[in-house]
Amino acid sequence: MVSALGAGDAQSFLAAFDPAMPGFANLRTDVEALAQDYFVQSAIVPVDSQGDTRRRSVELDWLLHLTSQNDAAQVTRRRQTIRCGLEKRGRRWKIVSLVPLSFFAPPAL
């Protein structure tokens, strides 16, 4: 996910999510706007992970560094604990919940 976001590939980033997840449409809109308008650098440090082989709950210390593609002086840095719920679907894990979704909203100008 980090590499997809850094490459501006919103679709690969969003592929990790279950489209039925609450708020997915807003997340898709926000991530597509980020990928289109910003250079994104991202780092994740796992903080906590609980669950079993079918369901997991994870906390991530996520850092976003956003630089406007139109104005390199416009830089936004965000760091927050992100909580994700994951479920195994076949051989792949899908994110079924993410809090806060607003972490991926484009910066207000």
The pLDDT assigned to 10 comes to 97
**Domain residue limits, the chain:** 2-102
Nearest to 14 by CA among 34, 25, 28: 28
Predicted confidence pLDDT, tens digits, the chain (109 residues): 899 999 999 999 999 999 999 999 999 999 999 999 999 999 999 999 999 999 999 999 999 999 999 999 999 999 999 999 999 999 999 999 999 999 999 998 6
Nearest to 8 by CA among 49, 30, 40, 48: 40
Say if residues 23 and 32 touch (Cβ distance below 8 Å). no
Cα 98 from Cα 103, distance rounded (Å): 10
Cα 40 from Cα 89, distance rounded (Å): 29
**Under CATH, to which class is 2-102 assigned?**
alpha beta
Q: What is the pTM of this model?
A: 0.91
The pLDDT assigned to 46 comes to 96
